[in-house]
Amino acid sequence: MKVLMSVLISILACVGGLFQFEIFNTEFINDDYNVKVVVDGIRSEKGKIVLAVFEDQKNFKLRNPVKRIELKKSELKGNEILLSVETGIYGISILDDENNNNKMDYNFVGIPKEGFGFSNYYHTGISKPQFDKFKFEIDNKKVVLIEIKVKYM
């Protein structure tokens, strides 16, 4: 039955523009992606979005992502970013790099000048959050929907 459903879904997906649908929270996943990130609150069209996927607190602290994606804001379709990762625990951070310099810019007292956000977590503190606050699990049985609200200080 699972094989039949997978074949049916593949056929419908190949038809293209005739059917517009996405599968969430089911036992089937899309072959192209298993994480759908929806970004909300981007304040300008300048610059790019830098998305980083981390496996744990240590790599988050060291800024050592397992996956990094840069997108011009004009490339964001419906403020969505689709990606695929292996089974495991992950956390996503986003930088609204308005001046395209590939880093977060801070003012003279250390407050971020550009927007940032985390997977399913709106950060209200001053210092970086702990990985446990924004982590999520991928089990490769369903597409995970991640919402990120960009914060500007």
Distance CA 39, CA 53 (A): 15
Q: Give the pLDDT score at 22.
A: 34
* pTM summary value: 0.78
Distance CA 26, CA 24 (A): 6
Q: Give the pLDDT score at 31.
A: 63
Q: Which residues of the chain have pLDDT under 70?
A: 1-31
